[in-house]
A and B are shown apart, each in its own frame.
Chain A
Amino acid sequence: MKPWIHTHEHGALRKRSITGAPTTSGPMMTPMVDVVLVILIFFMGSATIAGHEWFLGASIEDNDPQPTPAAPTLGLPTPIIETRVVMLGTTPHVLGLGPDPITLDEARSVISSMDMDDPDTIVVTISADDDAPMGDVVDLHDSWNALGVRVRLE
């Protein structure tokens, strides 16, 4: 045990060694704590960036979609827009948004320019060729999702 005495200096009770040795002996902790905090913040930041995932929902029911609450009052069937990603050569194209196949970029602009009053009453089906990359299918899905329609994969 280290010998200590208590003295009153400037009105405060302070601890002081009998021999006058400085009370701050030992290693400096401050730089080490700084480094540890920086490392912790770095790893927490990395984990947050790596965890930036979300998802797109899609129906996979083969049956006709159930009408939304708005549709039955009108007595109308649920409108369905059928689209398909096809490979023409090595380039993916989209069928169903016009008389001819259009590229994905064109499809994106066509979809974003659509004006729908009740998009959640509309069902869009997406199908694709076997060799159509999933990234392009998801891209089309994303465009429809931005519009607020319901998407069904076939």
Chain B
Amino acid sequence: MRAVSIIQGSRKGSGVNVTPMIDVVMCLIVFYLMVGQLAIEKRAQISIPETTTGIDPNDTVDPIVIGIGEDGTIHLDNDTIDPARLKGELQGLVSRSPGAPVRVRADERAGFGDVRPVLDTLEAIGVTSVEFVTLKPMGGG
């Protein structure tokens, strides 16, 4: 408890203590900077093509996302996966989330020969349709 003389009036430093607020704001800024940086790094691995048409995601179930990099590397849930293990992993995911949309994030520089084995695997485990993730044109859509 601070003792303040009535005669002396207000003392220096009175008013709103902004230190905790600055702390919180700084934490928020650092958090957003880090998340933004991580998101940019993750997206930079795969350059998806831009299309003039498409369907906006409206997911009630979390989609199964398969990434295919420029060099043909396959990513499942952001982890690189050995193609030999792809069928087993996908089977597990599809059986755990029946009805979940299967979304393919294929790099626009990847060859179709890198994508076809993934589509064949999906077809082999009973998936009948896929969704290719693309970018909306800037300022449109």
- The tally of residues in B whose CB lies under 8 Å from a CB in A reads 55
Could you tell me if B130 and A60 are in contact, using CB atoms closer than 8 angstroms? yes
B10 touches A25 (CB 8 A): yes
Q: Is the CB of B108 within 8 A of A153?
A: no
Given contacts A55-B57, A59-B129, 4 further A-B contacts (CB under 8 A): A2-B4, A56-B131, A128-B112, A135-B109
The answer on a CB contact under 8 Å between A50 and B18 is no
Per-residue CB proximity of B80-106 to A under 8 Å, as 1/0?
A: 000000000000000000000001001
Closest A residue to B4 using CB positions: A2
B78 proximal to A (CB < 8 A):
no
Question: Bound complex: CA of A21 vs CA of B10, how far in Å?
Answer: 6
Q: Is the CB of A50 within 8 A of B108?
A: no
* One of B6, B43, B56 near A19 (C-beta < 8 A): B6
Is the CB of A145 closer than 8 A to any CB of chain B? yes
A32: B residues at CB distance < 8 A = 18, 22
B60 within 8 A of A: no
As a 0/1 sequence over residues 49 to 70 of chain B, the CB contacts with chain A under 8 angstroms (1 = contact) are 1011111110000000000100
A88 is an interface residue with CB less than 8 A from chain B: no
Contact of B4 with A57 in the complex, beta carbons under 8 Å: no
Counting chain A CB atoms within 10 Å of each CB, which of B10, B123, B141 scores highest?
B10
Once the chains bind, are A53 and B48 in contact (CB under 8 Å)? yes
Q: CB-CB < 8 A to B53: which residues of A?
A: 56, 142, 145-146
**Given A1-B4, A3-B6, A55 contacting B112 (CB threshold 8 A):** no
* Shortest distance between the CB of A111 and any CB in chain B (Å): 12
- Asked if A129 is at the interface of the complex by the 8 Å CB criterion, the answer is yes
Check A131 for interface membership: any CB of B closer than 8 A. Answer: yes
Chain A residues contacting B130 (CB-CB under 8 Å) are 57-58, 60, 153
Query: Chain A residues with Cβ under 8 A from B55's Cβ?
Result: 54-57
A-B CB contact pairs (8 Å), 28 listed = A2-B4, A2-B10, A3-B6, A19-B6, A25-B14, A25-B15, A29-B18, A43-B32, A46-B36, A50-B39, A52-B135, A52-B136, A53-B136, A56-B131, A56-B132, A57-B131, A60-B122, A60-B127, A60-B130, A61-B128, A61-B129, A130-B112, A132-B111, A134-B106, A134-B109, A139-B49, A142-B52, A145-B53
**Is A69 among interface residues, defined by CB-CB distance under 8 A?**
no
B51, A56: Cβ atoms under 8 Å? yes
A39 within 8 A of B: yes
Contact call A43/B111, Cβ cutoff below 8 A: no
Counting CB contacts under 8 A, is B133 at the interface?
Answer: yes
A137 close to chain B: CB less than 8 A:
yes
User: CA–CA, A132 to B114, complex, Å?
Assistant: 10
**Known pairs A27-B15, A43-B32, A85-B112; A54 contacts B141 (CB<8 A):** yes
Give bound CA distance, A17 to B18, whole Å. Answer: 22
Flag whether A36 is at the interface (Cβ < 8 A).
yes
